[in-house]
Amino acid sequence: MSTKKVILVSGSSGQLGQTLLEKKDLYTNQYDFFFADRTQLDLSSEASISECFLKIRPDIFLNFGAYTQVDKAEESKTEAFLINQKACAILAKLCVQNNCHLVHISTDYVYSGTGLEAFKETHIPAPVNTYGKSKLAGEKEIIKSACKYTIVRTSWLYSKHRNNFVKSMIKYGQERSSLRVVNDQIGSPTWTEDLIDAIFTLVQQEQLGIFNYSNEGACSWYEFTKLILELKQINCIVNPIPSTEFNTTAKRPAYSLMDKSKFKKITGKEIPNWADALKDALQQF
Ligand SMILES: NC(=O)c1ccc[n+]([C@@H]2O[C@H](COP(=O)([O-])OP(=O)(O)OC[C@H]3O[C@@H](n4cnc5c(N)ncnc54)[C@H](OP(=O)(O)O)[C@@H]3O)[C@@H](O)[C@H]2O)c1
């Protein structure tokens, strides 16, 4: 019989799930993995969650599935809360009952985004849109369940998988002669490979609680785009614009930089800078 811990991953077809699927050999000496996509574990159905969970009986549950459409969430509040809040309550209860460690991914969008100071985990959250509110509600369900949990708040994820900002900018940059990109929203991009590395550091060290994690440093979407196009040698002019000139259904936090000193101090790990991470990541695109 295997003595390895069993890990069940939800949302396995998403960016983070696909990145782990690709990197899992780094961890298979310690863990047996079960990757569940929406057809195997539907986060909007209690029966589906319970059935899959009780079939696999994981030691660790990586909740990578989520309702992630920030603008659409404004019109689909019920669905966003069903997947981002209610599923967390169901999972947390199963984790309590089965002594399972719940690792949940949350977002910088739980923070208000006002001010000019990086948010610490202790900062009182105040999300400005439905997506952020639903993710915060999910965190609260997990915390109040008293299950063994690790919540990782991250930001601006990108990878070679699925749709994301980096892939869109490469596509638009190749199609158009100029782009207008918002220059007054500041945050930190995060390459999913670095996030997976951070998650497994926390899992292996059995660190519990809430952790901020993104790549190090800060930029605006405009600065991010400039570097993407420069590194990909795409000849397209990028013009900075204020967010008032780029209407979106959901409000975005203006300054969602997160303080990662807790992660660095507790794990003893350094965090790659966003520009270095982008350079490495783009080798794969
Ligand atoms: N992307 C970002 O910039 C960002 C920033 C901060 C935090 N996060 C958080 O990071 C985590 C991973 O994000 P990501 O970028 O990997 O997201 P993603 O690529 O959008 O993937 C989300 C995954 O959730 C799945 N999902 C949606 N509804 C589901 C349901 N009812 N049942 C089961 N699975 C369902 C999707 O399945 P389908 O493939 O079937 O659609 C997809 O596999 C999420 O918790 C997200 O909130 C993301």
pLDDT in tens, 197-231: 999 999 999 999 999 999 999 999 999 999 999 99
Please enumerate in sequence order all residues whose Cβ is within 8 A of that of 258, keeping only pairs 6 or more positions apart, or say none. 108, 111, 118, 119, 153, 155, 188, 212, 213, 214
Helix, strand and coil content of the chain, in percent to the nearest 5, comes to 40, 20, 40
What confidence score (pLDDT) does residue 64 get? 98
Nearest CA to ligand 1 atom 42: 14
Cut 0.95: pTM above it: yes
Q: Is the CB of 73 under 6 A from ligand 1?
A: no
Nearest CA to ligand 1 atom 24: 65
Q: Is the CB of 119 under 6 A from ligand 1?
A: no
Percent of the chain topping pLDDT 90:
95
Over 80: is that where the pLDDT of 112 sits? yes
Q: Is the CB of 125 under 6 A from ligand 1?
A: no
For residue range 35-80, list pLDDT tens digits in order. 999 999 999 999 999 999 999 999 999 999 999 999 999 999 999 9
| pLDDT, mean over the chain | 97
Spatial distance between the Cα atoms of 125 and 105, rounded to a whole number of angstroms = 15
**Architecture of the structural domain at 5-164+190-218+257-272:** 3-Layer(aba) Sandwich (3.40)
What confidence score (pLDDT) does residue 115 get? 82
Amino acid letter at 175?
Answer: E
What confidence score (pLDDT) does residue 2 get? 77
